[in-house]
C-alpha cells in the first residue's frame, strides 16, 4: 500500500544527490514490512558506472541488507519512472509493487531521454546504433544444457 513518507524519502534522496553533485537527480528506496531496507541515489558520474542508477543502487543495497537476490514482499519507491535498464532490474528483483513520482516525459524534459532505447529494442540487430552479430551459438548452448542438467542449481 502506497505510503507518502517513502516517496518523499526517495525524492529527498534525489534532492541530496543534486545538491552534492554526486549524480543525477534520482532517488529510490526499497521497503519491506513498513521499513526501508534499501536506499539508492544516482551514482553514475561518481562511480563512473553507467549502471549506477538510483533504482539499481537501491536494489543492490536491499539485496545485501536482506541477504537475498530477490525482493519478495518488497515495494520500490522511485523519484522517477524507471528507465528501461532499471525497469528490467526491477522485474528481475521481483518486488511486489513499484511506485514512481515524475514520469518519463518529465525526465525527457529535464534532458534524460530514454525513448531512443525503446526505439532501438524494436529494430533488427543490424539496424541498431550498436550493431550486434551472433557467433558460436552451439558452444554457448552447451553451457545452458549443462545448467539444465544440474541437480543443485538455484533457480532465479
Q: Which residues are catalytic?
A: 55
Report residue 74 as a C-alpha cell: 518488497
Task: Say how many CA atoms lie within 13 Å of 138 toward its Cβ.
Answer: 0
| Helix and strand counts by DSSP (H, E) for the chain | 7, 4
Task: Say how many CA atoms lie within 13 Å of 30 toward its Cβ.
Answer: 27
Instruction: Give exposure, 36-71, as e/b (b: 16+ Cβ within 10 Å).
Output: bbbbbbbbbeeeeeeebbbbbbbbbbbbeebeeeeb
Amino acid at each position: 500500500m502506497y505510503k507518502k513518507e517513502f516517496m518523499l524519502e526517495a525524492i529527498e534522496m534525489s534532492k541530496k544527490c543534486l545538491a552534492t553533485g554526486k549524480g543525477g537527480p534520482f532517488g529510490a528506496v526499497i521497503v519491506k514490512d513498513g521499513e526501508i531496507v534499501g536506499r539508492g541515489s544516482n551514482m553514475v558520474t561518481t562511480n563512473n558506472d553507467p549502471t549506477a542508477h538510483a533504482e539499481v543502487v537501491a536494489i543492490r543495497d536491499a539485496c545485501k541488507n536482506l541477504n537475498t537476490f530477490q525482493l519478495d514482499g518488497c515495494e520500490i519507491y522511485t523519484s522517477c519512472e524507471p528507465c528501461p535498464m532499471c525497469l528490467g532490474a526491477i522485474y528481475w528483483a521481483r518486488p511486489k509493487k513499484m511506485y514512481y513520482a515524475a514520469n518519463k516525459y518529465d525526465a525527457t524534459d529535464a534532458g534524460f531521454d530514454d525513448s531512443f532505447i525503446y526505439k532501438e529494442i524494436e529494430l533488427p540487430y543490424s539496424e541498431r546504433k550498436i550493431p550486434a552479430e551472433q557467433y558460436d551459438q552451439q558452444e554457448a548452448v552447451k553451457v545452458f544444457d549443462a545448467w539444465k542438467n544440474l541437480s543443485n542449481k538455484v533457480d532465479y
